[in-house]
Structure 1
C-alpha cells in the first residue's frame, strides 16, 4: 500500500522492511511556535509486557540530541509570567520529517502515535494573577507546555 492514515492499521511488514512515517505539524496561527514532534511507540512482548518509547523525530532550531542519553535539550522559555505573555522567538511555525522505526520487530504487535509539543506559554494561573492584580502563591506553576496528539496507527503481525 502507499500509506495508512491516523487510526489505520499497518499490514504485516514485508521481509526486512520497517514502517516509515511522514509527519508534519503547523502551529495554531494565534498560538505558540512548536518545540518538537515526537513519535510514541508502544509494543507488546511475547510475555504480554507492554513497553513504550518516545522518539524525537523533528525539532526546532539547531539543537542536537545528547550523545550519551539521546535526549534533546530544552527549547528554552520566553514566558513573561508577570504580564501573562510570551514571544515566538524560539520554536518553529512548522515541523516535518520522515522517520523509520529503528527498533521495529515484525513479530511484535505495536502502535504509533504522534505528539506535537509547543514552546512554553503562560498557564491560566499567570493570566488570573495578572487580571486580578495578585501575586501567585509560592510554588504555583505559571507556565505550561501544550501538546497535541494524533490517533494511533496499529501494527498487528500476520494481518
Structure 2
C-alpha cells in the first residue's frame, strides 16, 4: 500500500516538473505584432446627469370588481382608494414579557436529553441538555411534554415531562 502511495507521489512530481512549466508560448495570432503599432482605445465619454428627487406616489383604485370564489366566512368587500402615503415612524408599543426569574426552574433527570421544536418526537432537535442542567418552565406539562427555555441560551423548546425533576441536584 505504502509503495503505491510513494510511487503515485513520485509520478505526480515528475509529471508536474516536466509538463507543468509555462515556457511563455505566444498564441499564433500574436507572433510578429509590434506592440507600438497596436490600437489604443479612447476612454468612454462621461455624460453628466442631473439628480432627480425621489417621490413616492401611490394611487390604487380597483377597476373592476370580480366575484369571489371563497365560500367560508364573509370575505372582505368594498371599494377603497389609497390616495397618499404618510411618512413617519411607528410608535413603539410596550411589550410585557414574563421574566425568567418568575418562571419555575426544573432540572434534567437523564444523562442526555434532546430539546425539540414542538411537543413530539416528530419535531426537529433544537438543542441538547445533559444531567442536572437547569431549565425554566414556560408552560406546564401538556400531553407529556413541557415547554422550556434554556437558561443562558434563551432557546425555547419542548422536553418530555418524565425527564425533568424539581429537585435541585446541588442540595
Please report the TM-score for the alignment, with normalisation by the length of structure 1.
Answer: 0.21
Give the greater-gyration-radius structure (CA). Answer: 2
Please report the TM-score for the alignment, with normalisation by the length of structure 2.
Answer: 0.20
